[in-house]
Structures are given as structure tokens and as C-alpha cells.
Amino acid sequence: MDERATVIQEVVCPFCAMGCDDLEVAVADGALQLVGPDCPVAAEGFGRGQPAMEPALGGEAAGLEAALAEAARLLRASSLPLLGGLGTDVAGMREVLALAERTGGIVDHAGSRGLLANLRAMQDGGTVTATLAEVRNRADLVLLVGTDTTAIAPRFLERCLAPRATLFGSLERQLVHLGPGEPLAGAERLACPAERLGEVVAVLRALAAGARIAAHEVGGIALGALGGLADRLRAARYPVVVWAARDLPGSHPDLLTATLAGLIRELNAKGRCSGVPLVSPENVVGANQVCGWQTGGPLRTSFASGAPDHDPVRWSTAALLRAGAADCLVWISGIGTLPLPDRGVPTIALVRPGHPLPPGVDVAIPVGAPGLDHAGSVYRMDGVVSLPLRALRDTGLPGVAQALARIRTLLETA
């Protein structure tokens, strides 16, 4: 670490949905470096270089005003623009919706697949979820379904599962990994192939409800082992089921999340159980919260008819671009690095400097990252708290909210 660096404490990390607020970051001449605690996602996010990046038109450097004007022109000529990626803070998402309403566009976050699978389960049958604090202080049996948590939430083990001292005294915690993949250290493993996970969870749900199953094994797991797990879930004081819907197998993760929600409901019939859906990064929960309070519906909402219209299938980025329905793409990646999808339409990219851009981007506008280059706020994965982000340096770059507001002003004054 540079000995000239200033170390800033209690920094909130915007780079995964855990929203850890205990980081120490060193700042020296505009360069940032994570001091601790150790986290590969935070280390990469804060430590990424800040290469010089100019606004560009068709790959050629241009002034910011020219880039904003061209973005406005492309949107003015569009019949159905798509605002995608949506890696931004709460203020940025508010401007996304304002621009979508102004242009009759569609909004879809890069992390919508997993988020909407969880929402579908809630809409169809209801579920019970826990906050991160409840997991840390109460969960005595944690069932990890198809995930070891490290890829999507690197510090979930450290912050929520490993602590034994809680607000209510010492807690002994059992961890069970169900499904494919390697379990966390110390976790009991019940392994099955990814393609059989839905079947296994369905049988576990039936066993938890007291059903009799005429089989000796399911997905390679002995029925007795699944029955024993159902008994342990019923007997635990505060069991918690953890999954990451974005990583669930198959093209319809909502079917498996619905089964998990059903398992949780069965366990709540005579006891207590909660779920913890781990969600994608890039403030997907915050984007959905803003969409909910401003439109009354979740992400994947269209303004083409003049009123908000939510459709989780029709308004997906992949479906719109594959069908050629959207005729302009505004790609927003102001937190991490969201790769642009395959597309054949005019493209406006608002990205952090250093973000790799494929050929064919018509307008590129560098933006600052919330929590690094400007203040803002993001939502934690459990949706119960909005976390404030501080500016750690001054790069002079506009935030996503500023850039989109200027584009919208150009549209309204044309």
C-alpha cells in the first residue's frame, strides 16, 4: 500500500448484493485499494484501474456534449428503445425510469432472471424470507440448495454462517449442502446431478409434509437420507433454506424456486422456516425497488403503451433483441462490468472507464461508479435496508443519473 495513502473506514461495498459496510479502502492520488476485510469481489472492484476514457462516437473520441446529443438523437429516432444492464444506484435507476417513460422504452436488469424467479414464487404461492441479521443470530440449520454461496456472495459464510456468538448467546449451526457442486467447509453433503435437483427438492417437500414416497432413492440420494433431512428441518428451532436462483439449472428457475417456497411453507405449518434467496450484483434489488415504487410493478416493464406494463417473458433483454423488437439499446454498467449482449441495433453505452466495449457501439459515455466516484445508495439483497455510498475520490465523471438526466433534457428541449 502506498505510504501516502489515506485509509477510509466503514466503506460500503457496491460490488455484490451483500452490501458489506465494514471495509477499509486506501486512497492515493485517485487510486483505490482494498485494505480489508479480504474479499475477491471488493478487491477487484475497488482496485480496478482508472484508465483514461473519452466519450466516443462510433469508436472515435468525441466531446461529452456531442456524445450526449447523439444519444438523444438515436433515442428520438427509436420506436422501442431498451434500457438494459442497469448497473447503477438508486438515483440512476430513477433516471432510467424517467427516460423510459419519456421515450416509451422498456427496462430490464441484467440480473432479472434470478430476481424474477424468486418474485414469481412469491406471487404464485407466497413464501417466508429472512434478513441477513436473522440468519446470523438465529439460524441453527442452514440448507444450501445448489450453491456454496462463494460465487454470488463471497462473505456470506464469514458474516452470516460462521459466527457462533449471537445477540442471543452462543449458537451451534449445522450446514447441509444439497445438489451439485462442492460444499462449504464443514457442511454435510447430499449430492445429486443438477438436472435432478428439482425432483429431489420436490420429494423433500413431500417428506416434510408427511407424505409417503414409494422409492428407495431420488437423484442418487437415498430416500432415508432425504427423510432424515426433512426430520431435521422440522426439528430445528430456526431452519433457513438458501439458494441462488440465477444459478439454478434449466431454463425455468421459477419452477424450482416455487418448490423451495412450497418447502418453506410446509415447514411453517407446524414450525418455523425462512428462505434466503441470494441475488445477483449490480444493485438488482435496488433497481427493482425503484421500479416497484414508481410503476407498481417489478422489472421488465414497458412504457410503450403510455402506461407501465410488466411482463417477465416478453420484456426480457434476450427476447427483445432476438426478435428484433427493440430498435435501440441503452446499456448501463456503472458499477461492475456487465458485458453487452449480442445485438444488431444502435447502441448507447454508459460504462465505467476500462469497461471492454465490442465493435458497433454508436455512443460510449464514461460514467463514475457509485461509492467510488460519487455518493449514492444501493439496496442489500434482503431488501430491508438502503445503504449509503460515499464518494472516495473526484474523477470529474458524471454519474449515470447525471448523464441520463442530460439526455432527457435534450429530448425535451428539441
Same domain for 107 and 121, yes or no, is: no
213, 325: one domain? no
Same domain, 76 and 142: no
Tell me what the pLDDT averaged over the chain comes to: 96
28 & 91 share domain: no
Question: Coil, helix or strand for 190?
Answer: strand
Q: Is residue 97 part of a domain?
A: yes
Size of the chain in residues: 414
With 0.85 as the threshold, say if the pTM is over it: yes
pLDDT at 1: 62
Per-residue pLDDT for 97 more than 80?
yes
- Do 38 and 70 have their domain in common? no
Are residue 328 and residue 399 in the same domain, yes or no? yes
Q: What is the pLDDT of residues 337-347, one digit of tens each?
A: 999 999 999 99
Q: Do 34 and 142 belong together in one domain?
A: no
The Cα 102–Cα 95 span in angstroms is 10
| Owner of C-alpha cell 455512443 | 363
1 lies in a domain?
no
Q: Which of 277, 299, 330 is the last residue of a domain?
A: 277
Q: What is the mean pLDDT of residues 250-268?
A: 95
Q: 147 phi and psi, to 5 degrees?
A: -150, 145
Are 177 and 266 within one domain? yes
CATH number at residue 330: 3.40.50.740
Mean pLDDT of all residues in 311-337: 97
CA of residue 21 relative to chain centroid, distance: 17
Give CA–CA dist 384/115, Å, rounded. 15
Find the CATH number of the domain harbouring 129: 3.40.228.10
Q: What is the pLDDT of residues 33-79, one digit of tens each?
A: 999 999 999 999 999 988 888 999 999 999 999 999 999 999 999 99
pLDDT value at 174 more than 90:
yes
Number of structural domains, the chain? 3
Percentage of residues in the chain with pLDDT exceeding 70?
99
Give the separation between CA 387 and CA 384, rounded to whole angstroms: 10
The predicted-structure confidence for 148-164, as pLDDT tens digits, reads as follows 999 999 999 999 999 99
Is 72 part of a structural domain of the chain?
yes
37 and 66 belong to one structural domain: no
Which pLDDT score, from 0 to 100, does residue 49 have? 83
Q: Are residues 104 and 147 in the same domain?
A: no
Domain boundary among 261, 277, 293: 277
Q: Is the pLDDT of residue 250 over 90?
A: no
Given a cut of 80, whether residue 2 has pLDDT beyond it is no
CB atoms within 10 A of CB 211: 11
Instruction: Give 360's pLDDT tier (boundaries 50, 70, 90).
Output: very high
* DSSP β-ladder status, 56-57 and 217-218: unpaired
The predicted-structure confidence for 189-236, as pLDDT tens digits, reads as follows: 999 999 999 999 999 999 999 999 999 999 999 999 999 999 999 999
Q: Do residue 409 and residue 318 come from a single domain?
A: yes
For residue 220, the model assigns a pLDDT of: 96
93, 100 Cβ separation under 8 angstroms: no
Q: How confident is the model at residue 4 (pLDDT cuts 50, 70, 90)?
A: confident
Which residues contact residue 293 at a Cβ distance below 8 angstroms, ignoring those fewer than 6 apart? none
Q: What is the pLDDT of residues 106-142, one digit of tens each?
A: 999 999 999 999 999 999 999 999 999 999 999 999 9
CA 230/CA 211 separation, integer angstroms? 11
> With bands split at pLDDT 50, 70 and 90, how would you rate the model's confidence at 324?
very high
- Please write the tens of the pLDDT for every residue from 391-413: 999 999 999 999 999 999 999 88
Rounded to the nearest 10°, the torsion over CA 115, 119, 120, 124 is 170
Contact present, 274 and 128 (Cβ < 8 Å)? yes
Q: In this predicted structure, what is the pLDDT of residue 251? A: 85
Residue 5: pLDDT band with limits 50, 70, 90: confident
Assess whether pLDDT exceeds 70 at residue 414.
no
Q: Which domain holds residue 347?
A: 53-111+282-413
- Comparing CA positions, the residue from 333, 348, 358 lying closest to residue 406 is 348
125 and 262 belong to one structural domain: yes
Joined grid coordinates for residue 216: 428407495
Give the pLDDT confidence of 20-37 residue by residue, as tens digits.
Answer: 999 999 999 889 999 999
At residue 107, the 3 state secondary structure works out as: strand
What distance in Å separates the CA atoms of residue 405 and residue 398, rounded to the nearest whole number? 10
pLDDT at 34: 97
Residue 283 has pLDDT above 70, yes or no: yes
What grid cell was written down for 190?
447430499
Beta strands in 163-246 (DSSP E): 165-166, 169-170, 174-178, 188-190, 217-218, 221-222, 239-243
